[in-house]
Homo-oligomer: A and B are copies of this chain.
Amino acid sequence: MRAVTFQAPGDVQVQERSEPELEARDDAVVAIEASGICGSDLHIYHGRVQIEPGFTIGHEFVGTVIDAGDAVTRVQPGDRVLGCFHSACGTCFFCLRGAFHKCDEMRVFGHGKLLGGLQGTQAERALVPRANMTLRKVPEGVSDEVALFAGDVMGTGYHAILQADIKPGDNVAVLGLGPVGLCAVQVARATGASPVIAIDSVEQRLDLARSFGATPVHLTEDNPREAVKRLTSGRGVDAAIDAVGHPDALDLAIRVSRKAGTVVAIGVYAEPCQVHMGLVWIKALTLRSGHANVIGHVDRVLGMLAARTLDPTPLVTHHLELEQAADAYALYDRREAMKIVLSP
């Protein structure tokens, strides 16, 4: 079969790979119909996340089950399914506490040996471990490109808002309007947050946020701190989402939060950095971080996608063929695309 493989920084190639086969009783094999390219893939592409040359990449996918072990009960061959970007065991200390994203046996698709050695999903077919945890049937009426979001980007937006620990009618600021930030905006609106203040420096993204019901604020042309004050009776937001993963975004999130508010750092951090703990302390903030617990959220996210309460369609800017992967990555790297969907 054909698969998108990492070769070296800046170099991905579609190559021939052997067909995946069932290994464990709860494995499934899925014929991929659509697989997204995600910001995390770009980290690999840039060599910042190191994986073995030749490894198949990609971790967002929709497809059809073509084989399943006898312990797979939630789906069966013939089912149209979507996948979560990682697997979880369901029985370890962390899974028992519902922290599936910190499962001791977690394996991430397309991230090399370090994260479980699970070949990626930008391919014609993929082996899916722990299929009862990792796969869900696509509800009727939900398109490939929409379903794709449930197991990764929209699941991450949902996670950010859930971690914000707000009640309906509370207000939220979302800093950074890439796909995750825009999904967080949608989830915030769909769950009753008001206003949802969306902050970025790219007009097109601010326009999308506005179309999703947010109040857009330009990072540099407006004064975000003043804008937040004006929109929140001078108090600051109940919760601020840092969907960037940069100390400046975190700092702004801390500054625009109200006393006793919550900051969710959903953007990726890998290093130590300066944090104004004096502000965190005097404001009595809660700061939450980490990637999304998509397995914990996927049923609910799917429900909202099926009800069109959430709709990521406007984020999909490109549909390309699997064979065009090299072009697709280059395009994404030039920031000319929001979400690219690859289909074999």
By a beta-carbon cutoff of 8 Å, the part of chain A in contact with chain B is 25, 71, 73-74, 89-91, 93-102, 130, 132-133, 158, 161-162, 167-171, 187, 190-192, 194-195, 235, 245, 247, 250, 259-260, 265, 268-278, 280-291, 295-297, 299-304, 306-307, 309
Instruction: State whether A277 and B275 are in contact (beta carbons under 8 Å apart), knowing that A168-B300, A260-B102, A304-B168 are contacts in the complex.
Output: yes
* CB-defined contacts of A287 to chain B, threshold 8 Å: 280, 286-289
Instruction: State whether A277 and B269 are in contact (beta carbons under 8 Å apart), knowing that A99-B260, A191-B192, A192-B192 are contacts in the complex.
Output: yes
Instruction: State whether A102 and B191 are in contact (beta carbons under 8 Å apart), knowing that A273-B277, A281-B270 are contacts in the complex.
Output: no
Pairs across A and B, CB under 8 Å, 25 listed = A90-B90, A94-B259, A94-B260, A96-B98, A102-B284, A161-B168, A162-B168, A169-B297, A169-B299, A190-B192, A192-B192, A194-B303, A245-B281, A247-B277, A265-B280, A265-B281, A268-B281, A269-B277, A269-B281, A272-B278, A282-B290, A284-B289, A285-B289, A286-B287, A287-B288
User: Judging by beta carbons under 8 Å apart, are B265 and A270 in contact?
Assistant: no
* CB-defined contacts of A291 to chain B, threshold 8 Å: 281, 284
> What is the CA–CA distance of A222 and B281 in the complex, to the nearest angstrom?
30
The dominant DSSP class at the A interface is mixed
Output the least CB separation between A281 and chain B (Å). Answer: 4
Instruction: State whether A74 and B91 are in contact (beta carbons under 8 Å apart), knowing that A260-B290, A281-B269 are contacts in the complex.
Output: yes
User: Judging by beta carbons under 8 Å apart, are A300 and B101 in contact?
Assistant: no
Interface centre among A170, A245, A268, A309 (most CB of B within 10 A): A309
